Each structure stands twice: as structure tokens, then as C-alpha cells.
A and B are shown apart, each in its own frame.
Chain A
């Protein structure tokens, strides 16, 4: 019952904010008036806010900004012991620093380290938190650029990256995070600059409890679908996520931007119903996934789960099974990767769901921005096949999907499966999969999960394997880097190609892309494509485990 209220109230809250928050974001990304702070930033960076960029310039700006970010973050981590607020922690080792820098710049937040024993407060605030904001901002900016491609009429330009990033960060991410941090503090999340307290536990041992700017980190960790926790145990830690209702609020924050962005899409292309269609696809996939995950966990097989009534291993009693399962689904349906339970301990099928969610390409609703552009790519592929079946060369929102568009969409679709499957195969082929715990189908799932998470920029971990080795840090770092920026470049190229076209007017013969039939078809294409790609690997992992 509590589980039902939890999920239903969450859905209602998201429905309630869809229009107002979506409209607000629409005004931010289409607005032209700059505040004093924004003008200051433009002068500092040296950009003319009125100058429009072609896709090539836009893409180079994204890449340049991200390259500088990786470099800066890497250096910061490598010299943190010589700077302030390091809490006496040593410099981060080279492969972990590389992995972490890439991880935070790519909005993945894969953590190959334990937060409280590796990162000082300065690294957390000036390094990681900053990237939590701007990496999320980049995702939204790229999505908006793609929408501009659909909306443009032979202009060939996609807006200005520096303006987009500035406005999105200052007007969307910062204010909402400030508010959310306050709410989390009210809920009991800590916020201080303390170096920690030593306490004596019930059994008489001494435990070091690290304090820190947790609430502010936490807000952007979720709102920006980042997922990098202040503590190693992430949202299972009572300082990060103390109660059921903070848990509810955290999931709400995760979904807030991704589920509202289709509204921005609908408004920018001038047809709100197109936004509703996209959000319907996201909603159907998300609800199905949450229902399945919760179902598998509540009715999980196995001796222990049956004895205690549900699969409680690895879950915190203050959340219980449904809330933990819902969080697991939410964090993997988006590119968040925060966790409040141990996915490795889920039932085989319950544990398969987070993997499948990520394999869907994180489009339901996906990471901030990345979810929308991922889903629009799938919509383009669907339109191509569906459009042929109505007897026209395919078009989406009046833009022809020709050879160039198809090439870019297909390449986009190829990137992540290639990284996931090649990475997993490489781990087994090179023998980097084995630790004592990694045996049989479950061990296979753990490796598959790691690469799925990295390539899709999720950042959550099944756990069970030691990943802070040079091989893993390098391989996963590459998976994150390529998994983030190859798709971005392809999306921007697609946007540029769409922006150069004139629009074909709609007629009775045009494939309607706002009707339930099309929504169903996008859902179908997404599920079928993913199933066909990953079924062999899944069969040897969670499916083999679950059916034994």
C-alpha cells in the first residue's frame, strides 16, 4: 500500500509540474534578454550572445569546454593535498583521477573511489560539484540545439552554446538546486564544512563520521541526473537520504527535468502535442520498468526472499522493498546512477531491470537533455520505417529523414551498444573479470552492468568487482568519454542537417507523430532494438541466473 502511494503520488507530482516547469525552461532557452551576471560572463568568455552557431561551431564549443574541464578536474584531484580543505587526504592516484575527471565531465559520476576517504571538501565543491552543474547544462543545451534543428527553417544555425550553457546553469539548475538543498536540509541532510566527528558505536568501536556540504551536493547530484554521492554508499547513507520522504523527493528531483523537457520540445516546434507524444513514450517505458522492478523484488524467487516475504538483502529497512526498487529503476531510467540499495543483491530479474533500463539508452526519461535527444533519435528511426509504410519518403516534424539523417541516427544508435558489448567482451577476453566473487551468470552480470553503466553515462554500479585497477579505470574512462561525446557530436550534426532543410507542410498523407499509434510504435522500436541487441548477453547473465 505504502509502495502504491509512493509511486502514484510521484507520478501525480510530475504530471503537475510538466506544464509550468516545462514552460519556464522554454522561456529560459528561448529568451533573449540577459541579466547583469550573464552579460558579465559573456564578456569574460568573449562571446557575442546574439551570434548564432552552426552545428560544427556548436560541437567544437562543447568539446573544447569539456576538454578544459577534464584537464582542470584531473589537475585539481592530483594536487588536492597541496590545497585547502583537503581534510588531510592525499592526492588522488593518476588512474583514479583520470577516471573521475572523465566520469564527472561526462555526467556519468561513476565513482571508482570512496567519497569520504578520497575527496576533500575543495575537490568536492570546486571540482565535482561544478561539473555536476555544467555537465548537466551541456546535456540540456545539446537537446535544445537538436530541437532548434527541427524548428529551424533553412537557417542552418543552432543557437549559441555559451549562451545556452550560461542561461541553463544560472536560471534553471542553480535556483532549483538552492531550493532543493534547503528542502533536503529540512529533511535532515547535513550541510557543513566539518572535517568529521569520531563517535563510539554500540559495540564499542570508534567510527569516523564525515560531515560536509552534503545537501547542496545532493540537490545537483539528483537534479542534474549526475549521481555522484558525497559518501560511498550514496543515497543509502542516512546523511544523504535520511527518510522515506527525502527518498521520494530525491526521485522527484531525478525525474523533474527529464520529464519536463518534452514540453520544451513541444513548445519550440510549435506543437505541444508532439511534446505529449514524447513524454508518453517516456512515461510508458518508465512505468512499465518501475512496475517490473518492484514486482520482481516483492515477489522475488529464492529461499530467503520467500521466507521474509520480499528480497530484503542489500536494501535499507527505512526504505523497504518498493521504495528501493523504485529508486533503482529511477536512477537507471535516467543517467543518474545514485543508489539507495545494493543492486548486486537484487533478485536476478530485479537486477536485470536496471541493466535493461540503461540498455534502452536511458531514454525513459533519461539524463537531463541526453534522454530527450536519445529518444528523438529513436523517434527518427521509427519515423523512417513508419513513414515508408504510409507511402512517403519519411519526414519528422516536416523535416525529411534522408540518407544523411539516417547515417547520423544509425551511428548514434551504434555507439553505446558497441562500447557496452566490446567492453564486456574485452573484460572477459583479457581476464579482467575475475575476482573471488565473480563466478557464473552473476559475475557476468556484474561486468555487463559496469560497461552498460559507463557507456550510457549512468554511473551506478552493480558492485562485486574491483574496478579501481588501472585496466578498469582506463577502459571505463574510455567508455564514458566515447559514450558521451560521440553521440553529442552526432546529435549536433543531425541538428545541423535538419536546420538547413525547409519544412514540408503537414497533410492527410503525413505520418501523424502525435497519435497513440506512433507512441506505441516508438515504444516497440525501442524495446525490440534493445532486446535484439542485448538478448544474447543477457541470456548468459541475469536470464540464465533467473531461470536456473
Chain B
């Protein structure tokens, strides 16, 4: 039963209890990011799971494999009643085909299991200190309801998801994020959300619970990584329909073959009976083999593993998708809304240039600016000191080593900071403030200030004793590599839009520098929402990140809304993904993972279908060359005997599933490029490869098994 299926009464904690009971699984090592490679240990561990999945009720959701299992069952009966080496060999390999398919799914699921176990650790039987009319009462965590308030003090585990309504505390969230550095959580603002299962390290907070019992963030995470309530995504359903249709066609084309085969055999009555055909037509063993070889078993076996692995790749990057649907939508995104600060730019303005005025040398200006900034610990101040060093080799002087230095800190009233060295007074700060302190400015100063402002920068004026020395150009610095990233996006057909609170002029300058396609300046949450609606009206899919409560409507409206884990619970509730690292650039990776997931499905489908061509060339002559010797011309692989040809095809069909498990888990190679070049490449590799590979594979297997007596 999924949480959403659950009636939304609040007085029903059995699910929570069930989770608690499972919580005493042995402790697992901390989850590490696993590579795509498949190590044999994983395979071994997955074997019991694979065998358990042979249950037809489990296999029901995979019609292709269900048919293979039915076929295997049928050949088992035939092999028991009329035993032969061929019959038993084929029967064994048919069962292996089903097991291999289950193995793929079990391996993919196994990767989430370890993670789920870690998460369960955090769900230890916590007892909450619930506040009832100001009095603390001990209540089991599982019985907390929405709206309850609880007290948590240093060393205690937060009993459920909620918002801090009182106090401030440092919290260890490593159980969820894997990040060991503690984070600050405080009442009010955008950093008030706390997650159940995390630990308070210092101080005391009061938390209002926002989750329903059994539906906490950790519960949802466990369900997600385990694939417990994995539902088929829309595209997966569509692909399953295509596979079911192909299965039906092949089933039909093989079943209707029988009367034709009987007719043909009767006409060539003198033709000898073989292992494949006799007077009763094609033998049951061979008919089943043909069906299994033709129906799209490869993709049928790997489809759900591909989906689970796609979610898993996100989890490895510390992103939790609340549904597979969101991952799929990520591949389709047309428009990316990116916040400027922290995503496109480094987040702080940095000194980029010293512009001296009226005969002052740049060195003098830099020296004065450095002196004025020595005690300024803001990133802007540090960047001035750094620039003075890189441009003019001015070494940083320790503030304490300069005699008589009195540092004047920045205040909101003066809007400047600086230093007094004896009777030398140096100030730097907002243009208007410093100019009035210096007692007016020349036209040159005014024009430099204007120029910097209009280019999107921030001017800081430096003055000494009423004389203006020059201006420091502070700039928003675009993160290195962003322009290239956006060029790639454009190649993939994705427009990037920068969201900023800056004025349009500043926004445009940064947008041009970063190479985004569009920008939204002086953006309010309503503007964001309106922009998303407008894009969606035009049929485009929009992705965005957000963390504040006021982002929630836009996150909910966007097709892919990635909430930062540091964000409010409203934001996390509204989005359909949560980034545990709270890194907004992750959006770009999410899009790529979504695309890779879809490409893997398409590539393996193509491979699976094109494989059939070779199988026909193996099986048709094997079945009918005895009746019509001319058909042996089709045996282009020159396979040893009818029996070896059919067995080789069946073995190849089974082994190819195992061979492709690593690819299904890792995803096919994806480099951002245009649709045409992607199609050309994948068609060549998986289309042409799918035609050629089985010819080679079947021939090699045939060369090996021809030595088995009785084949």
C-alpha cells in the first residue's frame, strides 16, 4: 500500500510501526556513491531475489517474461514426457532466460536496499517530547500528528518532519544528505524546515510537526530507493504497449505457422522427421523456442531495471525524485529557469578593476583600497585585497601590524568602511556616501561611476582626506564553464532563463556574459509563476529550482521542480525532486539523466527488435530445410544442425540479457548534442549492432555446442 493510497486519516499508525520493527536490521556501512559497473558480488546477492520473482504473480507486470515463463513450463512438461538432450537443454535455457531477466531487476533494486537500511537506522524508536498546553508529555514518534509541537534538545533526534517555531540549533543531517557538516536551523525565514531522523547537536528548538504519520520524508525516501511503490511511468507504459503488441504479433505468427507446417510436411511426405518437425508439424519445443527468440525479451527483461537504475543514478547524485514521471519529464524539458545567484554567478560581487581618477596612479589607488579593506571580512573586501595582490603585487598586511591603525567598520548608516592611520583617513564605500564624505566629486568621477553602473557592476569609491582617488569596479562573477554549459544546453534544444532580483540593466549585462537565452529581472515569485505559465501555454516543459516558501507555487507549477534540501518544507512539498546537496546547478545533470534514461530504453528496444533478423536465419532453415532442402540456402551462418541452431539462438537470447545488464544499469553513453546526431549515433550502434551481433554470437555458440552429443 502506498502512502498516497492510504486513507488520509491521521489516527492510523500501523505503517509507521511496521517500519519501526524493520528498523533493527543490522547496521550497514554508510552509503557510498556506486559506479555504474556491475560487480559479481552484486549478482550473487541478487540471485535469491531473482528466484523469488519467478512467482507468476510477480511476473504479471511483465507480460513478455510471463510468456517466456509459460513457455518454459510447457517445455518442461514436454521434456519430462519425451526426454532428449535438446529438449532438456532448451528447457534449462528458457528458465535461465526468465531468471536472468529477474536478476537484472533484482540487481537494480539491490542497490537501493543498502541505502534504505541506512535510512531506517535514523527511524529508531524515538520518543517525542510533545507539548500539550505548555506541558511536556512523552509520546512515541509514530503517534505524532500534524500540528503537534515538540521540544528537541542537543543530543536528541528530531521525531518528525516539521518547521522550527522557536529557537535556533545546529543540526546533523548526515543521515539524509550524507554531508557531515552540521547545518543551522532557526525559526522563521527559509531555514526553518527540519527532517525527522536528523539529530540536534546544540541548543533547544521547538518544532511544529507538518507530516502525517507514516508519510515522513524518510519514509518516502525509503520507499523510493527500494522501489517499493514504483509505478510505471507514462513512457514506460507506452513502451510496454508496443512490446506487448510485438509479442502478440510474434505469438500469432508462430501459432498460425503450425497448420502451414503440417500441410507442407504432408506434401513432402518422404522428407525425414527431425528434432524440429514431424508429421504433427513443428515440435512444441521448437515452437516455444521460436516464440521466445522472437518476442522482445531483451528489452522486456531490462525495462524495469533501466527505470530503477535511472532513479538510482539520481540518488547517487543526492537527488531524490518523488516519481519516475518527474525523471522522464526532465528529459523533455525545454526551458530551464536558473537563479542567478549561486547558480550562474559565484554569488558574490568581486573586485575586477581599479579605475583611478585625476592624476592618481593605479598603484596609489590600489594601495589605499587595500588598506581600507584589510579589516573588511566580507567577500567583496577580501576580493579587493586579492586583486591588489594579483595586479600590483601588494602583499597583504596584517591589520595588527600597522601602527596606529583604527579600522572603521561598515554600518548601514554611513554605508562605508575604512581605516584611520594617525591623521590619514581612508574610506571606501557606496558612491553617494563616499562622495558626500569627501565633499563633492568631479565630473570625471561621476562619469566613471555611471559607466560601471551601466555595465551591470557596482562602483565603490575610494577617498583619502576629502580627495577622491578612484573607483573600484565590483562585478558579479559568472562561474567558470557556465557559458559552455549553456551552449551545450542550446545544442540539446533547451533554453536557459536567468532569474534575478537585479534591475534589468544589471541583469542584461550578466545574462550576456553568461550566455543565457533570456532573463527575468526584478523577479518576484509571481513573475516566476507567470513566466512558467506562459512557457507552458506554448507547450514547453519547464524545470526550475527553488528553496523559499514563496517559490512553492512556481515549484508546483513547473514540470520539474527541484527543491533544495536546505529549503522550507513548503518548497520541498511543492517540488517533485529534492536535491540533498542543495546545489542548483544540479538541474542540468538532472536533465541529462532524464535523457539518458529515455535513450537507454530506445537503444535497447531497437537492439532487441533488430536481433530477430539473425534469429530467423538460424531457426527457419533449422525448422524447414528438412522439408524443403532449398531453404538451407537461408542458413547463412552454416550452423551445425537444426538442433544446434535452435539451441544456439535460445542461448544467445538468454546471454544477451546478462551481457546488457551493466549497460541497462549504467545507461548508454550520452553526450549533449543535437537530436539528429544522437539519432545517427544510436541507430548505428544499437540498430546496426543489433543486426550484426547475433549473427556472430549465434555462430560462436553453435561452434561450441556442436560437440555436445545428441545436439
Task: State in angstroms the CA–CA spacing of A418 and B494 once bound together.
Answer: 43
Task: State in angstroms the CA–CA spacing of A524 and B606 once bound together.
Answer: 11
Chain B residues near A407: list those with CB within 8 A: 238, 241
Task: State in angstroms the CA–CA spacing of A440 and B699 once bound together.
Answer: 31
Q: A414-446 toward B: CB 8 Å interface, digit per residue (1/0)?
A: 100110011011101100010000011101100
Inter-chain contact B599/A391, CB cutoff 8 Å = yes
Inter-chain contact A425/B331, CB cutoff 8 Å = no
Chain A residues near B490: list those with CB within 8 A: 508
Q: B249-260 toward A: CB 8 Å interface, digit per residue (1/0)?
A: 110111111111
Q: B609-634 toward A: CB 8 Å interface, digit per residue (1/0)?
A: 11011001000100010011111011
Chain B residues near A440: list those with CB within 8 A: 264, 267-268
The answer to the question of B648 belonging to the interface, with a C-beta cut-off of 8 Å to chain A, is no
Inter-chain contact B242/A512, CB cutoff 8 Å = no
Q: B665-681 toward A: CB 8 Å interface, digit per residue (1/0)?
A: 00000100011101110
Q: A184-227 toward B: CB 8 Å interface, digit per residue (1/0)?
A: 00000000000000000000000000000000000000000000
Neighbour of A421 across the interface among B237, B253, B290, B630, CB < 8 A: B253
The answer to the question of B127 belonging to the interface, with a C-beta cut-off of 8 Å to chain A, is no
Inter-chain contact A393/B331, CB cutoff 8 Å = yes
Quick one: closest A residue to B537, CB to CB? A502
Task: State in angstroms the CA–CA spacing of A534 and B262 once bound together.
Answer: 17
Inter-chain contact A540/B260, CB cutoff 8 Å = yes
A403 with B237: in contact, given A425-B259, A429-B259, A547-B628 (CB under 8 Å)?
A: yes
Task: State in angstroms the CA–CA spacing of A10 and B218 once bound together.
Answer: 71
Quick one: closest A residue to B596, CB to CB? A391
The answer to the question of A28 belonging to the interface, with a C-beta cut-off of 8 Å to chain B, is no
Q: Number of contacting residues on A, CB 8 A?
A: 68
Task: State in angstroms the CA–CA spacing of A540 and B596 once bound together.
Answer: 43
The answer to the question of B263 belonging to the interface, with a C-beta cut-off of 8 Å to chain A, is yes
Task: State in angstroms the CA–CA spacing of A398 and B595 once bound together.
Answer: 18
The answer to the question of B540 belonging to the interface, with a C-beta cut-off of 8 Å to chain A, is yes
Binds B, one of A328-336, A482-490, A525-533: A525-533
Inter-chain contact A391/B678, CB cutoff 8 Å = yes
| CB contact list, A517-544 vs B, under 8 A | 517-518, 521, 524, 528, 531-537, 539-540, 543-544
Inter-chain contact B259/A389, CB cutoff 8 Å = no
Task: State in angstroms the CA–CA spacing of A356 and B262 once bound together.
Answer: 23
Chain A residues near B267: list those with CB within 8 A: 439-440, 443
Residue among A417, A502, A532 facing the most chain B CB atoms (10 A cut-off): A532
The answer to the question of B400 belonging to the interface, with a C-beta cut-off of 8 Å to chain A, is no
Number of A-B contacts (CB under 8 A): 215
Q: B102-135 toward A: CB 8 Å interface, digit per residue (1/0)?
A: 0000000000000000000000000000000000
Chain A residues near B601: list those with CB within 8 A: 388
Inter-chain contact A398/B609, CB cutoff 8 Å = no
The answer to the question of A387 belonging to the interface, with a C-beta cut-off of 8 Å to chain B, is yes
Inter-chain contact B264/A406, CB cutoff 8 Å = no
Task: State in angstroms the CA–CA spacing of A444 and B266 once bound together.
Answer: 12
Quick one: closest A residue to B595, CB to CB? A391
The answer to the question of A511 belonging to the interface, with a C-beta cut-off of 8 Å to chain B, is yes
Chain A residues near B605: list those with CB within 8 A: 385, 388
Inter-chain contact A414/B629, CB cutoff 8 Å = no
Inter-chain contact B331/A503, CB cutoff 8 Å = no
Q: Number of contacting residues on B, CB 8 A?
A: 78
The answer to the question of A138 belonging to the interface, with a C-beta cut-off of 8 Å to chain B, is no
Chain A residues near B249: list those with CB within 8 A: 413-414, 417, 532-533
Inter-chain contact B620/A535, CB cutoff 8 Å = yes
Chain A residues near B235: list those with CB within 8 A: 388, 393-394, 402
The answer to the question of A114 belonging to the interface, with a C-beta cut-off of 8 Å to chain B, is no
Q: Within the complex, what minimum Cβ distance (angstroms) separates B189 from chain A?
A: 38
Inter-chain contact B675/A390, CB cutoff 8 Å = yes
A444 with B264: in contact, given A389-B599, A403-B241 (CB under 8 Å)?
A: yes
Task: State in angstroms the CA–CA spacing of A417 and B267 once bound together.
Answer: 25
Task: State in angstroms the CA–CA spacing of A122 and B344 once bound together.
Answer: 80
The answer to the question of B426 belonging to the interface, with a C-beta cut-off of 8 Å to chain A, is no
The answer to the question of B29 belonging to the interface, with a C-beta cut-off of 8 Å to chain A, is no
Q: Within the complex, what minimum Cβ distance (angstroms) separates A422 from chain B?
A: 6
Q: Within the complex, what minimum Cβ distance (angstroms) separates A413 from chain B?
A: 6
A403 with B238: in contact, given A503-B539, A504-B539 (CB under 8 Å)?
A: yes
Task: State in angstroms the CA–CA spacing of A425 and B253 once bound together.
Answer: 10
Chain A residues near B374: list those with CB within 8 A: none
The answer to the question of B332 belonging to the interface, with a C-beta cut-off of 8 Å to chain A, is yes
A422 with B252: in contact, given A389-B603, A537-B257 (CB under 8 Å)?
A: yes
Q: Within the complex, what minimum Cβ distance (angstroms) separates B671 from chain A?
A: 11
3 tightest CB-CB pairs across the interface, nearest first? A388-B602, A509-B493, A391-B595
Task: State the B residues within 8 Å of A (CB).
Answer: 234-235, 237-239, 241-242, 244-245, 248-250, 252-264, 267-268, 290, 294, 328, 331-332, 334, 490-495, 538-541, 594-596, 598-599, 601-603, 605-606, 609-610, 612-613, 616, 620, 624, 627-631, 633-634, 670, 674-676, 678-680, 682-683, 686-687
- A-B contact list, 20 entries, CB within 8 Å: A385-B242, A386-B683, A388-B239, A388-B605, A389-B679, A390-B599, A390-B675, A406-B238, A406-B242, A413-B249, A505-B334, A508-B675, A509-B674, A532-B612, A536-B616, A539-B631, A540-B261, A544-B628, A544-B630, A547-B631
Q: A417-B249, A425-B255, A540-B260 are in contact. List 20 more A-B contacts (CB 8 A).
A: A388-B239, A388-B598, A389-B599, A391-B596, A392-B332, A392-B598, A393-B332, A407-B241, A410-B241, A441-B264, A505-B334, A508-B492, A512-B676, A517-B683, A518-B679, A536-B257, A536-B290, A536-B620, A537-B253, A547-B630
